[in-house]
Structure 1
């Protein structure tokens, strides 16, 4: 990965520090891109809503969710390191029908991914700049996200995603520290920090486990690992550190949001059940710390959503282009001609991702499309876990890359959990 040009002072010290810092950050590019993409508005709302109702009582659930998602992401990275072929090509080696299932799920998620996020990002901007027209702002955000994904290859993508991750994680940590310091009863943070399921919290707990750390991004991570140049067993330690940094950052983000929710929402009767209600936090923040902190919170909110759009656009371009290549049985030796940025199929998928939300925005959201998105997303993780159990066991991969028994246990438990959530989501959608 290219480094930014060094700036040398008279003694040469500044250059050494800046170059060294960039080298250290660059080691964790795919993981920080994963963190910035997988943390979205839903995580903001669920963490604040959970803290508003139960204080720090659901923090342990976030820890469980992060551990599970780390195991799945590490498995995704190991599978990619098992050979030069792409993730979807490896999945197709189980059976081409399995690849078709992924193709259908990914196609649906790709179609609808940006439809809601664009309007949420526009909402965040409107909270900072009242009076912004919603529709033109949404269109502009989607077009800008598409343009920066189109603009460069992986090294460029990694740089701006690392930048987004630094802004969003530092932003929420600073706000959490300020909010905790201003609490009249800071002991509430410790008093509500329990390992239990408070009455009525089970749905919120399951939602947090399923949502924290993303779902499709776990598969996308394998493509970013591949583009990073980590292509064999020799990069195993780097990949594991990278994934650990990603989920460490995600855990810090969720913990910080839980502190903010406990400090500003818990016991007040205020509810944060959707993105629009996040504006309710603006008043208390401004009253306590001034307009600068209020604006900082909404800047963080915007970066959280925008980074999810840009990262998702990039990742789904890889995945859908590769799904199409695999089901068309195009040889793995030609993969980069189809799935690399700026290649025709990658660009076509990106254009489709940009246009689809705009069409949906002007034509409404047909119930069938929303239903298909929810169900395909719910079943994506169980399918992926099955692939990890099959492909990373036995003699398919080198001994160092095989699932150890603790990982197998977590994968099996994940399959049961996410399978149950998928069935529950399907029943709820059709039942409603």
Structure 2
């Protein structure tokens, strides 16, 4: 694989649960002004302690599983989910568990097994977020009435599913140069405009005939945020985008970088505002503009160069012939040659270098080159030298072509993964039992 687009680490837990575990007596997290603990809130929610919640092919999801997941969600949210949002938390907990069962069943069919060591590595990273050991984290979870096994199953699914989707479908994803160039051109045209610090929530519309229901559900999420639930918490629990792992954080985006309908929505919003649900690519997208800043001022260009040199002993003609292979050797993305350039020819990738970092003898041959252009062959110090421009930042602070390619690739693969899961669910037996998961006790 040329590059990885989905992290296996369960950051959505690390950013919420790890922070919560810093608080002493995590089991006593307050959820409202009445001082209710997570256990008390769940008791009021109406989820029975022991029953079958759903059957997923040959796997059973129990109400105990649902309650465990709800506790985990409450703790990872730092107790900031109001009791009136519990019906949605119940439904989301059950939905997450069903999807995890489907994902693990499918990965099992392909003999994709996540080892205990991989799970432990993620647990270690999560514990490190709170400067505690894994054993201490397990104890804190136990104090909150949560078995570490519920967390392990979640991690196992999050590691296995992206690996399966990438392994099966990565060759179907094609990011062509026109897409990258179009995105860059749009960003260059808008570089004089503001930049936006954006977060997102994605709600896939599985059935177009139910779009209005999904829209209303998205409005309910916005209403939760108006009542004080942080955007990041809602994104972690409800968003289908991969950015849910980091609370929906897209980072700083420039005008023209997002799809047109999303781009138009954020331009008019003041910082601290949230859009209404926006239909986009088979989903409703909710965007939050956390901050704005002035456009970057053009500065000194930086280059990413594929550099190669040939020993003078090769002779002029042979050295020139060898160095002409820099472009086809694909140093730029693969970090290594795909063909043998021959004995006595060396290469390296020089990333994000400014002209003042380049040997002054070579600067005149490089400074006016654009992306995709190669310098002439230069003779110096008993060798022949040449450089190919993999990328060039005009000093406007634009992301690299590789970063743009990775983002487009990730988005396309994410959509394929969502459709893959929907197809699996349609072909599976998913029986949700009739007990009322969505109405709290009176």
Larger relative CO (CA 8 A, sep 6+): 1 or 2?
1
**How does the TM-score come out when normalised to structure 1?**
0.26
- More helix by proportion, 1 or 2? 1
Q: Which structure features the higher share of strand residues?
A: 2
Q: Report the TM-score when normalising by structure 2.
A: 0.26
For the pair shown, the structure with the greater C-alpha radius of gyration is 2
